[in-house]
Chain A
Amino acid sequence: MKVSLTVNGKPMSGEVEGRTLLSTFLRETLSLTGTHIGCDTSQCGACTVHVDGAQVKSCTVFALDVQGSSVTTIEGMANTDGSLGRIQQAFQDHHGLQCGFCTPGMVMASAALLAVNPTPTEAEVRHHLEGNICRCTGYHNIVKAVMAASDAIPAE
């Protein structure tokens, strides 16, 4: 079966089976390997992407379910000139990553939080990231990075 959708602003399509997960489709069919697979129980958040702006664990939806949707992955988070986007830059500035494996999911989850809550408290950041596991950082610098990225959002 064919699935067609927009990924990081570009129209894309590919052949999938009914059981093909969005995470598998992104990684295997579209070679967008920035989306990581860290578990088989939908608990780790390494596979987090945005579907039509909403935060989704891509291992929990079938590729066919996002037919016609707009999907954003970590590969779509940089600025148009290729420089790091605001949240990505905050992660680098605040050492919010070590091995980098949880990082794509952390950035996507943080972006989704800041989109709805531009000025979260520390507790809100920690609460929002409950679905994303990091084994390296002890979360300290991830939370710092998200807070810093939130401060940087100009009031509109």
Chain B
Amino acid sequence: MPKDFEAKTTGIGAPMKRREDIRFLTGRGVYTDDIKLAGQTYAVIVRSQVAHGRIKAIRTEAAAAMEGVLAIFTGEDFKDVGGNPAGWLIKSRNGEPMREPKRPVLAHGKVRHVGDAYAAVIAETYEQGRAAAQQLADDTDIEELPAIIDMKAAAADATNRVHDEIPDNLCYDWGWIEDNRAAVEEVFARAPHVTTLELVNNRLIPNAMEPRASIGEYFPGTGDYKLTTTSQNPHLTRLLVAAFVLGIPENKLTVVAPDVGGGFGSKIYHYGEEALVLAAAKRLGRPVRWTAERSESFLSDAHGRDHVTKIELACEKDGTFLAFRTETFANVGAYLSNFATVTPTFLHGTLMAGPYKVPHVYVNVKTVFTNTAPVDAYRGAGRPEATFSLERVVDQMCRELGLDAFEVRRKNFLTPDMFPYTTPVGLVYDTGNYQATLDKVIEMADVAGFESRRAASAAKGLLRGLGLSTWIEACGIAPSHLVGILGARVGLYDAATVRVNATGNISIMVGAHSHGQGHETVFAQVAADRLGVPESSIEIVHGDTSKIPFGMGSYGSRSLAVCGVAMTKAIDKIIAKGKKIAAHMLEASEADITFEAGKFAVAGTDKAKTFGEIAFSAYVPHNYPLETLEPGLEETAFYDPANFTYPAGAYLCEAEVDPETGKVTIEAFHCADDFGNVMNPMIVEGQVHGGVGQGIGQALLESTTYDETGQLLTGSYMDYAMPRASDVPFYNVDYSCQTPCTHNPLGVKGCGEAGAIGSPPAVVNAVIDALHRGGHTHIKHIDMPVSPQRVWAAING
């Protein structure tokens, strides 16, 4: 970590150790499955074993009569309630709205993917529930239909339909920006050079280590419901369950997301099991709990990525970019998960200019229903797909024209004097310095010494390559006004309440949710810095809709950039009110009161009141301006960002390929990121490590494979290759190039997704570079995961 950060021990910029670690390290974290309730019952879900089929009969009698069975639910029980809605309306190129099939709590009429939930058993014990679920599966008749798996075939098939009412299995055919299409075509028609690549962005299974779990409770005395669940955003879940699915009043439902063991997107969404346990708790009058087995997670968590893309780059012979054009097929799976429709469109197409001054871009995305698990946002969400396409095609163009990959990027970068900059795909980048991060990463990676390292590898019979990726993302999600125009059905502000207690300590209730990010530490750090009080006097409360204001949770690298700003705004209100109280107590004019280091003072005098004295006076208002000021010291602020934030960076991967086996080893991985201001460098580094680890997983290991009948062949850790400790190196991380965000007062940009966005193309570029340097110049591209088998086949093919 850069030296000046090591020096700080407290406040903004200090690598403070995490307070939440104590409970996690001693086994005292409380995750959903750790909660035990009196009278609790167990839900076991019955899932489809076929990818596509018509439910003919579910004979419940035998299962219902089994020992311990309390209730059985099928799709019939939920056919009259609402469906789980799509959070974003996308319009097709022809102006038509997307096709939006109902997503029921339990499948009704048809099952649409292996793992599709169509019934549930509630029993006294888990084992009894399992036995009855097995019986129920045996007693179900499903007429199997041909599975629709391949996206392009699905879109071309007019008869076989995932949803009977959707003729070509197409959700939408989106063009961005459609009005620019003709102009882009013209540029391509006269371009001196065009590079084309066909790429697969492999489907990934998020695999947060804590499986999804939900507990439903119903309190007949008041008619209140409570849902404890593995969620990244409890308020959104409450809204969806209450208003859209079950039709219960929002104020009769509390949603609690306690300690949550990772999310990466997969726990943003509302899932049917959450509505099920609530409905079952009401019917039984007892708590109903459900915890996914890992094999259920593989089958039913929202997956990520899964794009097939053709990208073209038009340029001058000297490598000056003229235009990008893409055609992408995006797999949405069997149903629309909550943010499935925006991920391949506005989180992807709007990033298709990268950090470059390319004048023309056109993006076409056809999003297709298939008989596979729903696909939604996974760490990075659309932006990794955009970055992968861009950075791969740029590298390929350099190879075709014999140009230097570093120089071509430099030549095409936006320069610092060009901000704010409106891209041809509709975003306004506020600030950045892409040259700086590129220079930095070159220095970090000792690019000058590469040739000797390559020679040393060659002496061992190994091929060494260097892969560059320069990335940008839009995060701090999101300006509500803008996303509303683009089709969002929610606002994406956030909120915080700062409650100064009578004794002077502080509770801060935040809408952001921490499931690994360390908010309890960092938010306290930021607040302490602003208030001039010790961190230890501040408690951060999150994850419980009965305690926190209506915030929108954590995803899209938004926690500090949106909720953190809401918190600072609430703190500013506290300080403003404190000044009024101090002015009264010190018999001075409010304009003369200063606030610094936790003290309200009359400027130019030694008259002052401590923060604690002001707080006490607010709650014991004996000497207090009651006629003009309310007692108490508590403020809430909502903050809706004016723009996205635009972190960017340059990543360099050095990889070694064994031509005998095809095995790729990451020898070094360097990241130079611009996250704007950094609040806790230790946590920022950890976020980059985790993101790069996942990106290397995508690039080298992780493959989600459905066979042609729709069976998931990679449904366990024996078949789905998760990155393990020996698959990855130490990462070399730097964030000293900082262009602070211009439109939020913290100057922060967000760092949670960067690693997963920037790293896959760097890895693949390194592998291709190694192969070319080794003389295997016929290899243009290898799809991810770049497995030994694929590398070997490419070499020998």
Contact = CB atoms under 8 A, between A and B. Distances in A.
Interface of A: 27-28, 31-41, 43-44, 46, 73-75, 77-78, 84, 88, 91-93, 95, 97-104, 107, 122-123, 125-127, 129-130, 132-144
B53 interface: no
Interface residues of B, number: 58
Contacts of A31: 36
A140 B718 CA distance: 23
A101 B23 CA distance: 11
Contacts of A44: 209, 294, 717
A75 B468 CA distance: 45
A138 B690 contact: yes
A119 B725 CA distance: 18
A155 to B, nearest CB: 26
Nearest to A127: B726
Contacts of B31: 33, 36, 101
B717 A129 contact: no
Contact of A99 (B210, B211, B294, B718): B210
Contacts of B20: 100
B6 interface: no
Does more than half of chain A's interface fall in helix, strand or loop, or is it mixed?
Answer: loop
Contacts of A133: 207, 209, 717, 722, 724
Interface stretch (B409-417, B512-520, B635-643): B512-520
Interface of B: 17-18, 20-31, 33-34, 36, 206-211, 259-262, 264, 293-295, 515-518, 682-683, 685-686, 689-694, 696, 716-718, 722-726, 728, 730-731, 755
Given A38-B211, A138-B728, A139-B725, A75 B716 contact: no
A36 B210 CA distance: 8
A140 B17 CA distance: 16
B261 A100 contact: yes
A92 B21 contact: yes
A138 B693 contact: yes
Given A126-B725, A134-B209, A136-B516, A38 B294 contact: yes
B516 A98 contact: yes
Contact of B33 (A37, A93, A136): A37
B27 A32 contact: yes
A44 B691 CA distance: 19
B262 to A, nearest CB: 4
Nearest to B25: A88
B731 A138 contact: yes
A135 B210 CA distance: 10
A84 B726 contact: no
A129 B724 contact: yes
B29 A100 contact: yes
Given A43-B718, A100-B516, A138 B726 contact: no
Nearest to B35: A33
Nearest to B30: A33
A36 B208 CA distance: 13
Contacts of B731: 138, 140
Contacts of B696: 138
B730 A143 contact: yes
Given A44-B209, A135-B209, A138-B694, A103 B293 contact: no
Contacts of B728: 138-140
A9 to B, nearest CB: 15
Nearest to B692: A138
Given A34-B28, A41-B717, A92-B21, 15 more contacts: A28-B36, A32-B27, A34-B27, A46-B209, A98-B517, A99-B515, A123-B726, A126-B724, A129-B724, A135-B206, A135-B690, A137-B693, A138-B692, A138-B755, A139-B725
Nearest to A31: B36
A39 B209 CA distance: 8
B158 to A, nearest CB: 40
A46 to B, nearest CB: 6
Instruction: Select the residue from B26, B689, B723, B730 with max chain A CB neighbours within 10 A.
Output: B26
Nearest to B717: A43
B730 A98 contact: no
Contacts of B730: 122, 140, 143-144
Instruction: Select the residue from A35, A78, A99, A129 with max chain B CB neighbours within 10 A.
Output: A99
Contacts of A78: 26
A126 B726 contact: yes
Nearest to B514: A99
18 contacts: A34-B26, A37-B33, A38-B209, A39-B717, A74-B25, A78-B26, A92-B18, A95-B17, A95-B685, A97-B24, A100-B25, A100-B259, A103-B25, A104-B27, A125-B725, A130-B726, A135-B209, A139-B725
Contacts of A139: 689, 693, 723-725, 728
Contact of A129 (B211, B295, B725, B755): B725
Contacts of B24: 97, 99-100, 103
Instruction: Select the residue from B18, B20, B209, B725 with max chain A CB neighbours within 10 A.
Output: B725
Contacts of A140: 686, 689, 693, 728, 730-731
Given A33-B34, A130-B724, A135 B26 contact: no
A102 to B, nearest CB: 5
A107 B25 contact: yes
B686 A98 contact: yes
A70 B31 CA distance: 26
Contacts of B689: 137-141
Instruction: Select the residue from B17, B29, B36 with max chain A CB neighbours within 10 A.
Output: B29
Contact of A135 (B18, B207, B259): B207
B27 A33 contact: yes
Contacts of A84: 22, 25-26
Contacts of A92: 17-18, 21-22, 25
Given A97-B21, A98-B516, A39 B690 contact: no
B686 A95 contact: yes
A104 B261 CA distance: 12
A136 B690 contact: yes
A103 B722 CA distance: 17
Contacts of B36: 28, 31
A81 to B, nearest CB: 13
A106 B731 CA distance: 20
Contacts of B264: 135
A35 to B, nearest CB: 7
B722 A98 contact: no
